[in-house]
Amino acid sequence: MVTQFLERIPRLDLVLAGAVTIAGLFALLTRRRGGRFRELPGWAGFWVFAAVVLISLSHAPKYISFALLATWMFAALRTYFFVAPVRPRDRYAILASYLSIPFAIWPAYLGSEGLFLAVVPVSLFLFIPAFLAISQPEKGMLDSMGRTLLGVVIFVFCLAHLGLLAHHELTGVLELFGILVLAAELPQRLAGRFRSGKGWVKPTIGIPISLVLAVGSGWFFGPLCGLVDDDAARAGLLVFVAVTMGALVNGAVSEDLSLTSPSARRGRGALLDRIVPAAYAAPVYFHYLNYFAP
């Protein structure tokens, strides 16, 4: 009976659930080692939620899954603005950033990539700076603009690509995305990630392993969703590059916001650390599948 039940579940969903479970168990077993291992349970918990979002985007009715995605974007953006405050007079720019979520979700819900590209980059990225400029453009406006736009780029623009992926003709590409990001991230998290000005010894261990794991996972699991193995391996490679870039950006942002202490990395600051690499990879993966691996 269990076998019959499991057979009805798409393979990639099982693989993603298995990957998250393994990551979670590993995190629970190693958390007592201290250091960066203490951050792993939180990260694994985040991935349980992320896996639910990805699977629901793939299978659940769109009005439910897109509401879940929008809630996720809102919660992420809200926490980001808490840890990266803008000037008090720019509070309405924060409001405008929240309002950008439905504007990004709407074309993604319709599955219209053209509309998405028209609405999000053209309208929002130009509209929000104008909103900031309405308040007296005194010292610090450019910093506020940078902070606001970075939040919108990562937590609205990038994450909305997951919504667009839900319309892909191949089912399972969202689950494959989760598997690839996990494969690209976990070794870097364990061995040490590349961070500007922080040396190269640790990344030289973590980066090659995650490269091999991401490409290997793509090559091995890609055919389960109908991708050619070479295309899927290349998708793994691109996801690996994007995740590494995201981790690099996140490291620099955390440094700038003084979110480097262990308590900050397990508190609200942890959100950036967990979500930014995955968010970074979403547009890269989407455009690769759309244009280069049809």
Of the two residues 77 and 281, which places its CB atom closer to another protein in the complex? 77
Of the two residues 126 and 201, which places its CB atom closer to another protein in the complex? 201
Neighbours of 217 (CB within 10 A): 25
Of the two residues 215 and 248, which places its CB atom closer to another protein in the complex? 248
The reply on whether position 136 binds another protein by CB under 8 A is no
Of the two residues 150 and 224, which places its CB atom closer to another protein in the complex? 150
The SS3 call for residue 136 is coil
Neighbours of 136 (CB within 10 A): 7
Residue 287 near residue 258 (C-beta atoms within 8 A) = no
Q: Which residue from 14, 60, 67, 75 is in contact with another protein, where contact means CB under 8 A?
A: 75
Q: Please, what is the minimum distance in Å from the beta carbon of residue 190 to another protein?
A: 20
The reply on whether position 201 binds another protein by CB under 8 A is yes
The one-letter amino acid code at 18 reads: G
Of the two residues 3 and 263, which places its CB atom closer to another protein in the complex? 263
The one-letter amino acid code at 107 reads: P
Residue 181 near residue 19 (C-beta atoms within 8 A) = no
Site for another protein in 176-195 (CB under 8 A): none
Q: Which residue from 143, 208, 216, 230 is in contact with another protein, where contact means CB under 8 A?
A: 143
d(CA 94, CA 97): 5
The reply on whether position 81 binds another protein by CB under 8 A is yes
Length of the chain measured in residues:
294
Site for another protein in 242-271 (CB under 8 A): 256-258, 267-268
The reply on whether position 137 binds another protein by CB under 8 A is no
The reply on whether position 147 binds another protein by CB under 8 A is yes
The stretch near another protein (CB under 8 A) out of 76-84, 129-137, 213-221, 230-238 is 76-84
Give the binding-site size for another protein (rule: CB under 8 A): 33
Q: Which residue from 65, 79, 100, 244 is in contact with another protein, where contact means CB under 8 A?
A: 79
d(CA 51, CA 20): 8
Q: Which residue from 6, 48, 82, 252 is in contact with another protein, where contact means CB under 8 A?
A: 82
The reply on whether position 92 binds another protein by CB under 8 A is yes
Q: Which residue from 26, 98, 106, 125 is in contact with another protein, where contact means CB under 8 A?
A: 98
Neighbours of 226 (CB within 10 A): 14
Look-up of token digits 């780029």? 153
Q: How many helices (H) and strands (E) does the chain have?
A: 14, 0
CB half-sphere exposure, 123, CA atoms < 13 A: 16
Q: Please, what is the minimum distance in Å from the beta carbon of residue 88 to another protein?
A: 6
The one-letter amino acid code at 106 reads: W
Reference 177, options 251, 242, 271; nearest CA is: 242
d(CA 28, CA 12): 24
**Under the rule (CB under 8 A), what is the footprint of another protein?**
71, 74-75, 78-79, 81-88, 91-92, 94-95, 98, 139-140, 143-144, 147, 197-201, 256-258, 267-268
